[in-house]
Amino acid sequence: MLEVCDLRRHFVVRHNPLARFRHPDHLIRAIDGVSFTVAAGEVLGIIGESGSGKTTLARTVLRLCEPTAGSVRYRGRDVFALSAPDLKQYRREVQPVFQDADSTLDPRQHVGAILEEPLLIHRLGNTTERHSRIAAMLEQVNLSPSFMERHPSELSGGQRQRVAMARSLLLNPEMLIADEPTSGLDPLVATQVLALMLRLKREHGLSLVLISHDLATVAYASDRIAVMYRGRVVELAGGDSFSEQAAHPYTRFLLGIEARLPDFPLLEGVHEHTHEADQGCSYVLACPHHLHRCHHAIPTLRETSPGHFTACHGVG
Ligand SMILES: Nc1ncnc2c1ncn2[C@@H]1O[C@H](COP(=O)(O)OP(=O)(O)O)[C@@H](O)[C@H]1O
Ligand SMILES: [Mg+2]
C-alpha cells in the first residue's frame, strides 16, 4: 500500500558568520536512503533512538516536508506528484497521530470543535450528522460524548491522546502514521492507549506505521519491525522472530544482548557527522565488531535469513 524507496532528507545547518571559521556549515543526513513497504492491514514498527530520523521520516511520508531524494508511493501513486485534490484525498486516507497531543490540540477550542474541524474541511455531513459522528467516535475511544464540552487542558494526557486518535479516525483513513503516540504518558496509560489503538486498527481494517524509541512498545504491536540508526534502516524483520534472529550489532545492543562502544556525541541533538560515517556504516564508530570496509562502504539491507534483512558487512 505504501512504498518508500531510497528516501533522503538532508538539512544544512549554517552557523552565523562569526562562528563559521571554527564551525563550518554541515549537513545533517536526517534520513539517508530509507526503503520499506507497508501492506494493507499491516503494523510496521519503526524503532530508533532520539535523533535517528524517525520524525523526519514520518513528516516526509505525510508530505509535510519535501524529500532531498527518493520516492514515496501510496497505492502506486507518487505522493510528491499528487495534484491538489489528490493530495487532499491522500491527507484524508493517511492520517498522522503525533506525539504529545497537548501541542496539537488547540487549547482555546473545546473538544467538540477540535473534532468537527476535519469534518468541516472535508465538507462531511450537516451539523446534526457531524455531531452524532463525533459522539460515536468519542465512544469508540472510550470517552463519553460529554467530553465534547471540555477543553484539552481539562483532560489527562491519556484522554488527550485518545481525543487525538478520535480526530485521526473521523475521516475514515486507511493508514495511521503514529509518531511516538504513547511517549510522555504513564506506563499504564501508555499501555491502554496502545491497546486501544491496536483494537481500532483491527476494527477499522487500517494499516499502521508505529514509530517509537521504545523497543517494548514496537515489539508488542508490530507485524514487522524496522530498526533505524542515524537516518538509515539497519535491520528489518518480522515481529515474531525479531529478538531471536536479531543480527545487527545495534539491534543486539537494543535487545541487551551486546554492548556498544562510546560513539561520537550528539551536540545539542545535532549529529556531528564525520566523514567516515557518511561513507561507511552509520554504526561504525559504536560497533564492537567493525571491519575495515565498514568505514568505506555503506552496507545495504540484505536478506540474511528468510524474511529477515540486515545491513551489516559483518553478518554472513
Ligand atoms: N528542521 C530541521 N533542521 C535541521 N535539522 C533538523 C531538522 N529537523 C530534524 N533535524 C535533525 O535531523 C535529525 C533527526 O531528527 P528527528 O527526525 O527529529 O529524529 P527522531 O524523531 O528520531 O528523534 C536530528 O539530528 C535533528 O537535529
Ligand atoms: Mg521524533
DSSP 90-141: HHHHEEEE-S-HHHHS-TTS-HHHHHHHHHHHTT-S-HHHHHHHHHHHHHHT
Ligand nearest to the CA of 98: 2
Q: What is the mean pLDDT of residues 295-302?
A: 92
| pLDDT for the residue numbered 17 | 67
- pLDDT reading at 274 higher than 70: no
Query: What is the value of pTM for the model shown?
Result: 0.91
Question: Tens digits of per-residue pLDDT, 167-207?
Answer: 999 999 999 999 999 988 888 999 999 999 999 999 999 99
CA separation, residue 243 to residues 43, 90, 219 (Å): 17, 34, 9
CA–centroid distance, residue 44 to ligand 2 (Å): 16
CA–centroid distance, residue 50 to ligand 2 (Å): 6
Residue to mutate, 26, 28, 177, 272, ligand 1, most ligand atoms under 8 Å from C-beta: 28
Lowest mean pLDDT among 98-102, 110-114, 236-240, 257-261: 98-102
Question: Tens digits of per-residue pLDDT, 22-51?
Answer: 666 677 889 999 999 999 999 999 999 998
Cα separation, 90 vs 95, whole angstroms: 9
Cα separation, 95 vs 88, whole angstroms: 11
Cβ–ligand 1 contact at 269 (below 6 Å): yes
- pLDDT reading at 273 higher than 60: no
Q: What is the mean pLDDT of residues 291-296?
A: 91
CA–centroid distance, residue 70 to ligand 2 (Å): 21
The residues spanned by each domain of the chain are 2-222
Confidence grade of residue 103 (pLDDT, cut at 50, 70, 90): confident
| pLDDT for the residue numbered 122 | 87
Confidence grade of residue 316 (pLDDT, cut at 50, 70, 90): confident
Give me 86's grid cell: 489528490
Q: How far out from the chain centre does Cα 90 lie?
A: 17
Architecture of domain 2-222: 3-Layer(aba) Sandwich (3.40)
Q: Which of 204, 172, 226 is nearest to 37 (CA)?
A: 226
CA–centroid distance, residue 53 to ligand 1 (Å): 6
Cβ–ligand 1 contact at 53 (below 6 Å): yes
Cα separation, 72 vs 82, whole angstroms: 11
Lowest mean pLDDT among 119-123, 181-185, 261-265, 292-296: 261-265
CA–centroid distance, residue 116 to ligand 2 (Å): 27
Residue to mutate, 7, 10, 11, ligand 1, most ligand atoms under 8 Å from C-beta: 11
Q: What is the mean pLDDT of residues 106-135?
A: 92
Cβ–ligand 1 contact at 55 (below 6 Å): yes
CA–centroid distance, residue 57 to ligand 1 (Å): 9
Cα separation, 155 vs 108, whole angstroms: 13
Q: Which of 102, 31, 109, 42 is nearest to 71 (CA)?
A: 31
| pLDDT for the residue numbered 25 | 67
Cβ–ligand 1 contact at 52 (below 6 Å): yes
| pLDDT for the residue numbered 198 | 95
Lowest mean pLDDT among 24-33, 58-67, 133-142, 265-274: 265-274
Cβ–ligand 1 contact at 51 (below 6 Å): yes
